[in-house]
Amino acid sequence: MHDIRLVGFDGDDTLWRSEDYYRAAEKRYEEIIGRYIDLHDAGTLRHLLEVERRNLKVFGYGVKGMTLSMIEAAIELTEARISARDLQQVVDIGRDTLAHPVELLDGIRDAVEAVAARWQVVLVTKGDLFHQEDKIARSGLADLFPRIEIVSEKDPPTYARVLAEFGIAPEQFVMVGNSLRSDIEPVVRLGGWGVHIPYALTWAHEADHGLAEAHPRVRTVASAAELPEAITRIAAGTAA
Amino acid sequence: MHDIRLVGFDGDDTLWRSEDYYRAAEKRYEEIIGRYIDLHDAGTLRHLLEVERRNLKVFGYGVKGMTLSMIEAAIELTEARISARDLQQVVDIGRDTLAHPVELLDGIRDAVEAVAARWQVVLVTKGDLFHQEDKIARSGLADLFPRIEIVSEKDPPTYARVLAEFGIAPEQFVMVGNSLRSDIEPVVRLGGWGVHIPYALTWAHEADHGLAEAHPRVRTVASAAELPEAITRIAAGTAA
């Protein structure tokens, strides 16, 4: 038996589709760059990822930071030949990505309802405060999450601070998410539990993690429908 | 006697200098625009404010949103004649504004310490999550604020949510800040108290508020040194 008191849910690509919109944004970005250079030689998206990574410390995560990095990367890659009109199109990519519809993943509402009926739940999501709040409002899930934590980095100190605010020990906490790096590894490092629900797409930056396969405090589920059962088994102390 | 239980502090231009950096950013923006059009006729900054306002709903507050609006405004105002190199300089304005040093306002550390010795305190600040957290870390005030609320909008529902998390009634809450619109008016509307500490500069958008002069639950102080006394007088029920 484990005394589970709080279940955290990630937002992007756990509750709702997100990475697809970033990928679509990258595709539009590549199209614009293709007007200036031969895409076959350019490594356009590898270059964009480099620019995003070097800017993370100043711009943080989220669409606005991505858009500023795209503008910078486009100027760099075209050696400043890109026109102002095309750069406006890059700004528009950012605007459209911020305004994309919020599509819940299959079965997620029922799964969160079932979990929330038994445990206290919290949404722990990373990125632009404004964009995340807007997505929560538009998701129709706000009523299920009385507490929402929007954080700038998902690392052990951040989760420790959230748990301290709830007065919960790490071993009483289960985090549900699609990213081993951001949702599962830091929580497990603190002594908590993770339920990994893989998403088809993972941002290159998030694929980078240091968790061994088959960790005893990590479960993997194939769909939202399996979530309540996975958490019930953790609480019951049933083997994975 | 009033049972004050919690004192909220605004961050930008209450604890540390902020608007000066935005104004410096606008000056650099104007300089770049001046390479393309006659600034005397242009109303460059009025136009920028318009673009920022129409983008608020998508970009939210903060430096990254300002930078994206500057890029868009520059392209619009120059009818797309602006060069990619000059647009990179606009991106650099954003980067430099995000990285500006955090300068505490005169006497603020002593004032917060004196208030925190007697009441629970919370920092309630608006803007980019990432930038605000970075500023709090660099301000040296993080030790004085065990609880920090970074919000996307400072309106009555937001303050109501924060107060609910603390289990505090509005009449037990005093908010300290430089903006009547964001810090004082919404709290007073809920039934709480405000201590207004004006700052030399106010963003045009923030100057817009609907509070009558001399509201009975609002005090105005001229400097941080007067803050503890002002809150003590509110708690004691002494007339303003």
CB distance A44 to A52 below 8 Å: no
CB distance B140 to A69 below 8 Å: no
Radius of gyration over every alpha carbon of chain B, rounded to an integer in angstroms: 19
A208 found inside a domain: yes
The pLDDT of B35-47, averaged and rounded, is 89
Sort strands B6-9 and A120-126 into parallel, antiparallel or unpaired: unpaired
* pLDDT per residue as tens digits for the range B185-220: 999 999 999 999 998 766 666 666 667 667 899 999
Residue identified by tokens 């136009």 is B47
Judge whether residue A201 has pLDDT over 70: no
- Residue from the list A68, A87, A99 with its beta carbon closest to the beta carbon of B94: A68
- Judge if B121 and B206 occupy the same domain: yes
What is the number of structural domains in chain B? 2
Chain B residues whose beta carbon lies within 8 Å of the beta carbon of residue A131: 60
CA distance A188 to A171: 9
B227 found inside a domain: yes
The pLDDT of B134-159, averaged and rounded, is 91
Query: What ipTM was predicted for this assembly?
Result: 0.84
- Residue from the list B64, B74, B78 with its beta carbon closest to the beta carbon of A64: B64
- Judge if A141 and A164 occupy the same domain: yes
Instruction: Give the per-residue pLDDT at B206.
Output: 61
Sort strands B120-126 and A193-196 into parallel, antiparallel or unpaired: unpaired
The alpha carbon of residue B40 and the mean position of all alpha carbons in its chain are separated, in whole angstroms, by 30
Question: Looking at chain A, how many residues does it have?
Answer: 240
Q: Are B67 and A68 within 8 A, CB to CB?
A: yes
Element (H, E) at B113: helix B108-116
- For an interface test with B, the pick among A64, A89, A155, A158 (most B C-beta atoms closer than 10 Å) comes out as A64
User: Residue A43: left (phi > 0), alpha (psi -120 to 50), or beta?
Assistant: left
Instruction: Give the per-residue pLDDT at A61.
Output: 81
Chain B residues whose beta carbon lies within 8 Å of the beta carbon of residue A60: 128-131
A176 found inside a domain: yes
Neighbouring CB atoms inside 10 A of A54's CB total: 12
Instruction: Give the per-residue pLDDT at A4.
Output: 97
- Judge if B94 and B208 occupy the same domain: no
CB distance B121 to B145 below 8 Å: yes
A1 found inside a domain: no
- Residue from the list A61, A80, A84 with its beta carbon closest to the beta carbon of B80: A84
- Judge if B49 and B111 occupy the same domain: no
Query: Which of residues A42, A66, A98 is at a domain's end?
Result: A98
Instruction: Give the per-residue pLDDT at B202.
Output: 62
The pLDDT of A69-95, averaged and rounded, is 98
* pLDDT per residue as tens digits for the range B58-101: 998 889 999 999 999 999 999 999 999 999 999 999 999 999 99
Question: Looking at chain B, how many residues does it have?
Answer: 240
A91 found inside a domain: yes
Tokens coding B40: 């005397």
> CATH number of the domain that B12 lies in?
3.40.50.1000
- Residue from the list B59, B61, B91 with its beta carbon closest to the beta carbon of A72: B91
Please list, in sequence order, all residues whose beta carbon lies within 8 angstroms of the beta carbon of residue A138, skipping any fewer than 6 positions away.
Answer: A101, A102
Chain A residues whose beta carbon lies within 8 Å of the beta carbon of residue B64: 59, 64-65, 68, 128
B1 found inside a domain: no
Query: CA separation (Å) from A64 to A29, A86, A120, B53, B68?
Result: 14, 17, 32, 16, 8
Q: Is the dihedral of CA A8, A11, A13, A15 positive or negative?
A: positive
Q: How far is A188 from chain B (nearest CA, A)?
A: 24
- Judge if B155 and B202 occupy the same domain: yes
Could you tell me the residue range of the domain that residue B221 belongs to? 6-17+104-236
Tokens coding A60: 């943080």
Confidence band of B130 (pLDDT split at 50, 70, 90)? confident
Instruction: Give the per-residue pLDDT at A214.
Output: 74
What is the SS3 string spanning A117-146? CCCEEEEEEECCHHHHHHHHHHHCCHHHCC
Query: Which of residues B55, B81, B98 is at a domain's end?
Result: B98
